[in-house]
Every structure is written in C-alpha cells, then in structure tokens.
Structure 1
Amino acid sequence: MSRSVVIFTSFFSIIVFSALLGCDNVGNNNTICKNNPELCADLHKDSWCRYEKSDLLKSRLRLKHEQSPPGKDLYHHLIHLEKYNKCIELASGVQHILHPERTNDRTRAFGLSAQSLAELQVSTKESNDPYLVYYHWTRFNDQVAQAKILRAERLNLIDDIEILAGIASYYQKYDPAKARQVYLAVFNKSNEENFNPEWLLGLANTYQKLNDLEMTYLLSRANILMSENQVSEKSMLMLINGDSELKIFLDEHAEELVDSLQSGSYHSSKIRRILEKE
C-alpha cells in the first residue's frame, strides 16, 4: 500500500470518526429534549454549537434531579452556560440566506441564554460555597468573594486543585512564599489524570520571584518535557549562569519530577521532598 493511500485512509478515518462523535452528540441531545422538553425550550434547534449545547443539556439534566444542587454543580453549570452563550452569540451573527428563521432562532437563543446566565449569576452572588465564591471572584473581581475564598484557603476548606491553583496564581503577585505553599499543595492533591503542566510554570515563576533560579530552571524544564513548549535554550542556561554540569543535574531532576507526576508516584518521590525543602 502506498504512503499516499495510507494518509488518505487515515484522514478519511478521522473525518468519519469526528462525524460519528458529532452525530452521537446530536442523538443524545435529541433524546434529552424528547424526554425533558422544558430543558430545551430556550435553546436553538440547528446543529451549531453542538458540543456546547450538549454539555449544557447534560448539566441541566443533572441539576433537574438534584433537590439542592451542590455549589460544584452550579459552578460547572455556569461555565457551560457561559460557553454556550458565547458560541451562540457568534452563531447568531451568521446570516442564513436560504433559511433566515435559523438565524432568528439562534438570536433568540442567545438572548435567552444571556438572561439565564445573568439571573444565575445574581442568584449565586451571596453564596458562601467555595466554587461559587471562586466564580464571582474570577469573573467579576468581586472583593467580598476574594476575601471569602482566601479565608477558606487559610482554613484548609478547599480541596479543588483548580481553585487552589487560581489562588496560588493570585499570591504570585503579592506573596511568593505563600504562592509556593499553595502550588505545592496543588501538586500533592493532583494525580496523573488531572495535573496541568502550566502549574509547573506557575511554581517556576514563583521561585524566580524568590530568587531561586535553580528551582526556576528545574520546573521550567519539567514544563517543557510535559508540554513540549518551545523555549530558548540560551535563556534557560542564563538562569544557571551557563553551568553545564548543573544543567545535567537539574535536567535529571526535571525528568524525575515529570516521571513521578505522570506515573502518580509524586507523593512518595524523592523530588517531592526536594521541592518542599525550605
């Protein structure tokens, strides 16, 4: 079989697989709407924004079966509603020449989803749930929400690593030592499935503010290994004054860190003790 045939076959397979995924989403949406028409009444009917619509419908269905929805579910519902609203706003600007009613339907859906989003934002504004407090802090720079979320972190009331990472990022600007503490907590609470390589850069930047350039290099190198980000090797070497022997030593530790994070063995690793050493 020629190489061109292999490439065409692979490309065709990707197209078919993507189409099947899309059809699966449409099928799921249709089933949900058939059994729960009230969940779909304010949404658009055509195939635009199919993934955002599917996520929103699943979220609505989950909330429907919860008598008192937890803050985490409401938080994710807000996120799904935001994404749907943004997508359908763009779609409403596309004029359908043959079927103008489709454009009108998207415009209607955009207006109604914007209203639903605004109402949910208002109704959750005074919540003390960490997820909802975090939402209002990050979306609106709500200072009351900020005070609540930072206090909750100080009292060790937050387990969600995404929220903790957001708090660590905030502290980078004002208290690098505290940022380091929170980032290390994120590392300890994460696993091989939910670890975000960007947190390595966050901790690297924190160490740079603390003037620990060796740790800055180590963590930056680990980020490169995990994310395949392109960086200037010259700039990397400048962090350690061009010390080639130190580079070899730190590169080995960076590989060890990546291996421990990807294998889920970070908690028992030697590199963890190195990072947490004061």
Structure 2
Amino acid sequence: MIKKYAALIALLPLAGCYDSAPTVREICQNTPSMCSDLNDDNWCNSERRQLIFSRYGVSQNKTPENQYYLMQDLQEYSKCIELASTIEHKKLKQKQSNRIEAYINSQKNIKALANETRSSEHPLWLYWHWSNQGNDEALQKLLAMEGSKRLQTPELQLALATYYTKQDSEKTFKLLYNALRLYKEGDRINPEIPSTLVSMYLKEGEAEKAYVWSQVAWQLGQENLDKSSMKNIVTASEDEYDNWDEQAEDIVNQIKEGRFKGRYSSS
C-alpha cells in the first residue's frame, strides 16, 4: 500500500486561502461528527490531526483524489490507534476503552469508504483496490492507462513503480524519479517515494545513494529512516555522513519547491 506522511497544510487550500483555513479545534467545534468517533486522549495526535483535515477537505471538495487521501489517513490513524488500544491505562480504564472504540470506528470507516469506491474508475482507486484488496481487474485497468497523461502524477507514478518493483528495476527507478519531478511547490509529498528508492538502492548495493535518500525520506516524514537507524546499515566516516546529509537537504528543498530535476542513472 502506498503510505502517506505529508504536510498537513496540503489539503487546506481546498477550503480557500491558507490564512482562512480552520484549525482542528474549529473543525471539531463546527462539525463534531468529524471528530467524535476518534480518541480523545494524547495518543496518535499527528495521525488524528491529519485525518480531521482530510475529512474537512473532502467535505469541501469531494473529489476521488481527496477521498483517496482520506483513505490513506484513515489507514494510518487506524494502524496507530490499534497499537495504542493494546496499551493498558492503569488509572483510567475508560481511556483504553476509548482507544479501542476509536479503532473499531476506524475499521468501519475504512470498510465504508472501500465499498463506496469499489466501482470507481479513477486510477488512484484502481490502484488502492488492487494493492489493498487484491483486485486484479482493477490492476489491469490501471496498467491499460500506462503512458497516458492520467498517470502523470506523483502518486500514480509511485503506484506503477510499486507494481514493477520485482520485475523491472530500471523502470522502477525511472518511475520514482519521475514522480518526484512532478511535484509542484505546496504539493502534498509522499515520503514513500524516496523510501522506496532507499530499498531499491540497497538492493543494488548503492550504499551512498541509499543513505542520501533515506535522509530525504526521513525529512519528509518517514520516521523509521533516521540517521541512527541508517548508520547501522550504511557504514561511512562522519565527513561522508555530513556530505550526504547536505545532499539530502538540498534534494528535499528542490522537491518542496517543485524544482527537482534529478534522473536515474545506472552508472
């Protein structure tokens, strides 16, 4: 599945300019149903916050794209709150019960959105129903669109790359780099793209590139690819690490500003 960890502000232009976008508190006060089925303690704060913004985005503009991001955020929240629900609160049992209820609600919401979009012909949903529910018919419809303008978006280039990962490494690399080139300034960025590059470069034995892209992914929100974890995999001098960190920071700035021009080279 394509994961989503991105700037929370990315959905807010749907409601108007950035300055007029409501806060989480305002959304919950004005539309309690967007928040009432979620946990009310401090667990999964970032996932809960992102989910609320996604719900608000869909309420303002119910496009297949916004629904797709809502599904991603529902799944991330559900995964987080499932773990939190197993942690016993010794003093306040109702806190644990609230998290369990929130998890059950999240699963119901995922199922409802999956049912609602089952017949969608939008390529994002074709990808989701293949990758999450094994719908081969959806996959064939998606692959039939390959090369068309409809798939020239970062998420859909990543979708194709996910399919080709085990069959065509060079094509996978090219799709991932193209995905990053397609971002425009202010876009919602999916760190699964650089994290997939990390896996691909490790498989190719390209330790330096794997480290650089791990730091790109980490800076974009992929928490399991921080410096300490990667130093256990890629051994280098401190000067090399510093140099690679600078490269990663430059790449992140280029992607965020919509000016990334990098291309895959097998040399």
Task: Calculate the TM-score normalised by the size of structure 1.
Answer: 0.61
Alpha carbon RMSD of aligned pairs, Å?
Answer: 3.8
Per-residue CA deviations over 1:6-46 (Å, capped at 9, x if unaligned) read xxxxxxxxxxxxxxxxxxxxx94333211111212222222
For 2:34, the equivalent position in structure 1 comes to: 39
Please state which structure has a larger fraction of its residues in helix: 1
Q: Which of residues 36, 43, 62 is equivalent to 2:57?
A: 62
For 1:141, the equivalent position in structure 2 comes to: 134
Whole-Å Cα distance in 2 between the matches of residues 98 and 201 of structure 1? Answer: 43
* 2:116 aligned with 1:132: no
* 2:209 aligned with 1:222: yes
Whole-Å Cα distance in 1 between the matches of residues 209 and 87 of structure 2? Answer: 43
Contact 1:184 1:276 in 2 (8 A): no
Greater RCO (CA < 8 Å, at least 6 residues apart) = 2
Task: Calculate the TM-score normalised by the size of structure 2.
Answer: 0.64
Q: Aligned letter for 2:209?
A: A
SS at match of 1:154: coil
1:89-238 aligned within 5 A: 89-176=82-169, 178-179=171-172, 181-183=174-176, 185-186=178-179, 188-190=181-183, 196-198=193-195, 200-201=197-198, 221-226=208-213, 227=215, 229-230=230-231, 231=234
Per-residue CA deviations over 1:96-133 (Å, capped at 9, x if unaligned) read 33322222222222212211111111211221112212
Instruction: Provide the identity percentage.
Output: 24
Q: Aligned letter for 1:43?
A: L
Whole-Å Cα distance in 2 between the matches of residues 205 and 47 of structure 1? Answer: 36
Contact 2:151 2:157 in 1 (8 A): yes
Contact 1:172 1:179 in 2 (8 A): yes
Would you say how many aligned residue pairs link Structure 1 and Structure 2?
216
Contact 1:260 1:266 in 2 (8 A): no
Whole-Å Cα distance in 2 between the matches of residues 183 and 276 of structure 1? Answer: 14
Per-residue CA deviations over 1:225-245 (Å, capped at 9, x if unaligned) read 454755368xxxxxxxxxxxx
Whole-Å Cα distance in 2 between the matches of residues 263 and 94 of structure 1? Answer: 38
Gaps of 5+ in 2: 1-21, 216-226, 237-243
For 1:29, the equivalent position in structure 2 comes to: 24
Gaps of 5+ in 1: 1-26, 209-215, 234-253
SS at match of 1:137: helix
Contact 1:183 1:203 in 2 (8 A): no
Whole-Å Cα distance in 2 between the matches of residues 263 and 91 of structure 1? Answer: 34
Q: Aligned letter for 1:171?
A: Y
Contact 2:34 2:52 in 1 (8 A): yes
Which has the larger Rg?
A: 1
